Amino acid sequence: MSDQHKGKLILNMKSELPALFPSTTIYNSQTCHILSGGTGALALQLVQHLNAHGAKRFLLLSRQGSNGLRSSDATMLTDLQRFGIEICIEKCDVAKLEDIQNVLHTAQMKFNVSSLKYSLLHLAIVLDDAPISKLNIQRIENVLQCKVTGAMNFLQLIPGEQLENVIFFSRAASTFENPSQANYSKANIFLDNYANQLSKL
């Protein structure tokens, strides 16, 4: 912010937010940024943030694909594409290994690079809130499959040497549980611990 005294105070806001992530490779223009849950609110903010700092290739994944986009978000993505940003929006259930296999193949073809590097931002989320007394296996699996199985599927399929960054989106609720979100908390606890293990490799 800068200010100048001209009888009244004029404040100019900086137009760009500073980089959120410490690793500069996350903003690499050649890297394919995979955002699971790519049509969700946070993912679409991240696409804009990453692009503002240099990222130019995006693979946005969700079960509904572009059908799940609000029209204002679809317009925002189309505008970015007009500026040469490569954005591929694909239907993919991250809980299904074969879906991820297919979209990785699609990305390879679409971005036409022999050995594509990836940054994974795993945001996909399903909620099925209920007090513990009403939880059953199905309601637990509904939530865990997306966050837990999804994360493991990506790590199983993307060779380590092609994976530049892995970011799991968890939540403070994994530490401070909300009532009725035991399944969501457990999924986030898994991601926190999995990230911790991966960072030691």
Ligand X SMILES: NC(=O)c1ccc[n+]([C@@H]2O[C@H](COP(=O)([O-])OP(=O)(O)OC[C@H]3O[C@@H](n4cnc5c(N)ncnc54)[C@H](OP(=O)(O)O)[C@@H]3O)[C@@H](O)[C@H]2O)c1
With respect to ligand X, which residue has the nearer C-beta, 54 or 65? 65
How much of the chain is helix, strand and coil, in % rounded to 5?
45, 20, 35
Q: Could you tell me which stretch among 6-14, 17-25, 51-59, 87-95 binds ligand X (CB under 6 A)? A: 87-95
Q: How many helices (H) and strands (E) does the chain have?
A: 6, 7
Q: Could you tell me which stretch among 36-44, 49-57, 71-79, 111-119 binds ligand X (CB under 6 A)? A: 36-44
* E strand intervals along 7-108: 9-12, 32-36, 57-62, 86-91
Q: Which residue is nearest to ligand X (CB)?
A: 40
Applying CB under 6 A, what is the total number of residues that bind ligand X? 23
Q: Residue 43, class by beta-carbon neighbours within 10 Å (0-12 exposed, 13-18 middle, 19+ buried)?
A: buried
- Please report, as residue ranges, which positions from 41 to 70 form the binding site for ligand X (by CB under 6 A): 41-43, 61-64, 68
Nearest approach, Cβ of 147 to ligand X (angstroms)? 7
Nearest approach, Cβ of 133 to ligand X (angstroms)? 24
With respect to ligand X, which residue has the nearer C-beta, 71 or 133? 71
Q: What is the largest CA-CA distance in the chain?
A: 67
Residue 28 one-letter amino acid:
N
Residue with tokens 């001209």: 6
Nearest approach, Cβ of 155 to ligand X (angstroms)? 15
Does 33 sit near ligand X (CB under 6 A)? no
Give the chain's radius of gyration (CA, Å).
19
| List 95, 116, 120, 151, residue binding ligand X (CB under 6 A) | 95
Nearest approach, Cβ of 157 to ligand X (angstroms)? 14
- Please report, as residue ranges, which positions from 110 to 149 form the binding site for ligand X (by CB under 6 A): 123-126, 146
The three-state (H, E, C) secondary structure of 32-59, written as one string: EEEEECCCCHHHHHHHHHHHHCCCCEEE
Chain positions contacting ligand X, by CB under 6 A: 36-37, 39-43, 61-64, 68, 92-95, 123-126, 146, 169, 171
